[in-house]
Amino acid sequence: MRLLLRRAYGAKETVLGFIEGSGVSVTAMHPGQRCTIASVAGHAMYERSNPHFEHFLGGHIDMSGCHYVQADPRTTHVTGARYVPAPRPRVKLEGAGKTGERYVGLAGVRDPYTIAHIDEVIGWARAQAADRFGGQPYELHYTVYGKNGIMGALEPVKTPAHELCILVQGVAPTAKMAEEVCMAGTRQLFYARLPDVKGTAGGVAFPLDEVLHASPAYRWT
């Protein structure tokens, strides 16, 4: 049985799956593309908590014993997958739940000393917001672009940047409170007290005087 599978990125992402008794062959249809052992095996990690199992209604596919062979430059042949029936049918449900209203603020940092102590600066701002809003339901999130804004704690490159952009998100039950939380979390970056710094001018710049109203915040559920 042949299955034509197209990903959401367009025709050049189309692959052909040929299912037979002993396994499946996956072929890249675009002449400039390749289905390699690494690319086919790596796809098992896509949106799965365990790359060895693909769960669906009625059972799962056990891929822990799969064997991959490069059949030709554009095709990988896979054998060893095993169907395991489930004792009872189960359905996975996904959705998004609203967390609250949201405001965002922006701050820029060029001062080398502030950059070296940016975690302490953010910690100061968090503490000041907690002093004001402690006990109330709110969230304050910081994304530091130029440090680890994309990968967070998983970022492998530790080279310090010469400038940073900090995105601040304040989330709360009401838009008014979200604005106040975000304003406090953003402005307090400027007033952070750091070791060896006696002045109060701050090492953070703001491209805007205000924080901006954004779409409501949602969390994957």
* Helix (H), strand (E), coil (C) string for 27-80: EECCCCCCCCHHHHHHHHHCCCCCCCEEEECCEEEECCCCEEEEEECCEEEEEC
Q: Residue 171 pLDDT > 50, yes or no?
A: yes
Q: Residue 149 pLDDT > 80, yes or no?
A: yes
- For residue 3, what is the enclosing H or E element? strand 2-5
pLDDT digits (tens, 9 = 90+) for 50-94: 999 998 888 999 999 999 999 999 999 999 999 999 999 888 788
Distance (Å) of CA 117 to CA 94, 109, 134, 173: 39, 11, 25, 32
d(CA 12, CA 146): 33
Q: Residue 4 pLDDT > 70, yes or no?
A: no
d(CA 181, CA 167): 14
For the chain, give the mean pLDDT. 90
Up-side HSE of residue 3: CA atoms within 13 Å toward CB?
A: 9
Q: Residue 167 pLDDT > 70, yes or no?
A: yes
Question: In terms of Cα–Cα distance, which of 23, 20, 1, 14 is closest to 74?
Answer: 14
Q: Where are the alpha helices (DSSP H) in the chain?
A: 37-42, 112-116, 118-133, 175-187
d(CA 199, CA 108): 19
Burial 17-37 (b: 16+ CB within 10 A, else e): eeeeeebbbbbbbeeeebbbe
Instruction: Burial-class residue 39 by CB neighbours within 10 Å (0-12, 13-18, 19+).
Output: middle
pLDDT digits (tens, 9 = 90+) for 17-34: 888 878 999 999 888 899
Question: In terms of Cα–Cα distance, which of 52, 46, 5 is closest to 24?
Answer: 5
Q: Where are the alpha helices (DSSP H) in 72-117?
A: 112-116
3-class SS of residue 163: coil
